[in-house]
Amino acid sequence: MTEAELYSQYKGVYLPKIAHSPESLKYFEEFTFRTDDIIIVTYPKSGTTWMQEIVPLIQNEGDMASVLTLPNWDRVPWLEETRALELNLDQRPSPRIFVSHFQYSMMPKSFYKVKPKVIYVMRNPKDVLTSSFHYHGMVTFLVNPGTVDEFLAKFLSGQARSRPAPFLTSCLLPCVGILDLKESVSKIAHFMGKSLSEEVSAKIADHCTFKNMKQNKMSNYSLVPEEIMDQKKSEFLRKGIIGDWKNFFTDAQTECFDAVYEERMKDVKLTFVWDL
């Protein structure tokens, strides 16, 4: 299907129509935050599902019930998606955990007033692109990626699923690199105001390894019908590694990416882990 058939444009961002209705976007715009809300914000393919596992486990102090019984999209729902309306997120008891792919400037008015806690997840954009390419090839609600060159051009021009600006705010979690999972769990817990024992942090970290999350049908997207998401083409939890872009980009594609990256990111003081 074509872009026009699959996407609508909202504030300069391409959104898959299947997940966003005009009513849900209105619901989002009028949403009232609470001070103890936690919002996980990600660019798609940066580790959203991972955080939808880690954060509720921290909130529940290692109690596995929610991650083993609720699909990730109900456990930590997207604020801007149609499902938000169906789930009556405004009536959920505190503390609430949400996820959003929207950038800072797109947040509802209440967000700037209430300043809920934000956990912003970043992944090096070459791996995001690689993951995104495979994802576009296995779901029917996104445009087929075409060749890597075509997808690269779309990604860099913001037509893949554009959410260009970095999300910088005073209530952000100070940078946590997920290299040591147990340490990251403790740091995220600290940011959330939770004090976990070593044992509970270790239990959460163990449950949230790639290998173990892949077995969790509430998080591996196996509940999604094959005609929407065909995991025979590419699994949702595909490789879960840093640096897979090296197996994917040609030298010419790396050069093309680097030139755009250097120009666009020249004023941004961020360093990514590009490989291990």
Residues forming contacts to ligand A3P in the complex (CB under 6 A) are 42, 44-50, 127, 131, 134, 208-210, 213, 237-240, 244
Residue 198: CB minimum distance to ligand A3P, A: 20
Nearer to ligand A3P, 223 or 259 (CB): 223
**Structure tokens that stand for 78 in this block:** 């997207």
Q: Which of 101, 134, 136, 207 is catalytic?
A: 101
Nearer to ligand A3P, 50 or 78 (CB): 50
- Per DSSP bridges, beta strands 97-100 and 117-121 are unpaired
Residue 113: CB minimum distance to ligand A3P, A: 28
* CA–CA dist 73, 237 (Å, integer): 15
Q: Which of 172, 221, 252 is nearest to 53 (CA)?
A: 221
Residue 209: CB minimum distance to ligand A3P, A: 6
Residue 136: CB minimum distance to ligand A3P, A: 11
Nearer to ligand A3P, 33 or 221 (CB): 221
- Per DSSP bridges, beta strands 13-16 and 7-10 are antiparallel
Residue 268 one-letter amino acid: V
Question: Catalytic annotation on 101?
Answer: yes
SS3 95: coil
Tokens 């529940």 belong to residue:
60
* CA–CA dist 56, 266 (Å, integer): 36
Nearer to ligand A3P, 41 or 84 (CB): 41
Looking at the annotation, which residues are catalytic?
101
